[in-house]
Chain A
Amino acid sequence: MKKYSNTNENNLQSERLKFSFFPGCSLKASGHENTMSLLKFCDSVNIEVKELEDWNCCGSSSAHSIDFDVAEKLPMRNISLAPKGIPLLIACPSCLIRIKSMYLKIKEDKALKQEYENLWGKPFDEDLEIIHFFEIFNRIRLEDYIDHPREKLKKIKVAVYYGCMLSMPPALRFENDYSGIMEKTLGKLGAEIIYYGYENRCCGTYLSVAKPQLAQKVVTQIVSKAMEAGAECLVTACSMCHLNLEIRCGLKDPIPVLHFSELLSMALGAKDQKKWFPRHIVDPVPLLKKRGLLTS
């Protein structure tokens, strides 16, 4: 396959991917460093990302828990805002499940489709693609954008953490399965993958607020199992998991938790880490310096 580098001249040869982007409340309001590094990454692999205009909360865990009607309408409106012909990119696992399962439900239900059209005054887009950030790796080849990829992450020992990302509800069980995608991608970029058996243990989501002791027990178990297995850091693709792993870990000296997008961007040569890392509760800078991934 022809190798493309990220120069203007060669960009003309590879088709620029275009996505509309649904950040969701977690990325927008508490995981700024996740959003910044994610957008940076997209830019460095020649992907154009445009935030979905005036998007609203997907309903999160709360709407479907106590108000079915609102739980249907919140994702419905987001679907109605998505521009035609451009895949809708979602980075939060929970938002993805809410929006995608609602989309599939409308697709199969005539009455619901009618309700959708009455509510939002436009036809339902039967061909809208709703994809998770992971799906990008099925559409681009990282090698096309990096020389010597295996040297980039300098054998940093990472334990990947998916949380509930891999546990799809039955309605989505025939959709793409993302098992192994972080291991494969980070491994390809020169990280050493540490397996610890808790990759898809739920982080507790809102129990972190309503039942902190329960969340703390699970989070501490996840982090300590990763540490026992020899990991130097955890890497997660969910902004909310990231927060829970940081604030609910009961260990005295836990390993840092990085966003998947941060490591990706760094491997692709991003230089704006100074905006991301001060937002981490467990400072990853000493580790990254030790590994030679950060210089100053």
Chain B
Amino acid sequence: MITLGNDQDEFADEIKATSGINFSACLHCQSCTNGCPFIEGMDYAPNAVLRLVQLGLEETALKCSTIWICVGCNTCSSYCPMAIDIPAVMDGLRHKAIEKGVKIAEPDVLSFHNEVLNTVKKYGRTHKLEIMMRYKLKKMDLFSDMGVGLRMLKKRKLDLTPSKIQDKKAIEKIFKHK
């Protein structure tokens, strides 16, 4: 039995507004789900997430792992017969999850995104080595994957110093409200 949320339409409307995507057209044909390369890491299939939102099951939708595992590769949306931008809906749900302060299902993914934007804010460009180091430090896990890191350094896949932009004011402008 599914207990519908009280304000089911309200939540769906909020997500439509945040993501700019009208997902009411979803037929639940599951083309997205069948195509998704990362379905194994998700607790709800992509179309099931849309269904959660349609049914107003806000908490389940915002706390699910799917919205964080989705990398936005667009396999789903290119298969979708209704041309729904499913990754954009996932973006909307991620934003809502942060805004509402719910428990994040995949904190590592969020932490990675934060570290990426930290380096962009600092340098205007990403700095892979710093992202990896800070991400690992935060996770208190410096040693797993050490082999990969060392191989990348050896093959000069990780520049030691960041590539920076000149116009720092422009970056300040971009991150102004932060």
Contact of B135 among A29, A70, A209 (CB under 8 A): A209
Is the pair B74, A56 in contact by a Cβ cutoff of 8 Å? no
Is the pair B126, A60 in contact by a Cβ cutoff of 8 Å? yes
**In the complex, chain A residues whose CB is within 8 Å of the CB of B95:** 66, 68
Nearest Cβ on chain A to B122's Cβ, whole angstroms: 11
Asked if B29 CB lies within 8 Å of chain A CBs, one says no
With A29-B127, A64-B72, A69-B177 as contacts: A210 and B106 at CB distance below 8 Å? yes
Is the pair B73, A167 in contact by a Cβ cutoff of 8 Å? yes
**In the complex, chain A residues whose CB is within 8 Å of the CB of B165:** 54-56
Nearest Cβ on chain B to A247's Cβ, whole angstroms: 5
CA of A28 to CA of B159 in the docked complex: distance in angstroms? Answer: 9
Number of B residues with CB within 8 Å of any CB on chain A: 61
Q: In the complex, what residue of chain B is closest to A218 when comparing beta carbons?
A: B37
Asked if A169 CB lies within 8 Å of chain B CBs, one says yes
CA of A209 to CA of B117 in the docked complex: distance in angstroms? Answer: 15
Nearest Cβ on chain A to B66's Cβ, whole angstroms: 13
**In the complex, chain B residues whose CB is within 8 Å of the CB of A60:** 116, 126
CA of A65 to CA of B157 in the docked complex: distance in angstroms? Answer: 25
Is the pair B112, A210 in contact by a Cβ cutoff of 8 Å? yes
Asked if A73 CB lies within 8 Å of chain B CBs, one says yes
With A74-B174, A205-B71 as contacts: A65 and B94 at CB distance below 8 Å? yes
Contact of B157 among A28, A173, A281 (CB under 8 A): A281
Is the pair B38, A214 in contact by a Cβ cutoff of 8 Å? yes
Is the pair A202, B37 in contact by a Cβ cutoff of 8 Å? yes
Asked if B110 CB lies within 8 Å of chain A CBs, one says yes
Q: In the complex, what residue of chain B is closest to A202 when comparing beta carbons?
A: B73
Nearest Cβ on chain A to B107's Cβ, whole angstroms: 9
Q: In the complex, what residue of chain B is closest to A247 when comparing beta carbons?
A: B148
Nearest Cβ on chain A to B42's Cβ, whole angstroms: 10
Nearest Cβ on chain B to A53's Cβ, whole angstroms: 9
Flag A65-81 by CB within 8 Å of B: 1 or 0 each. 11111100110010000
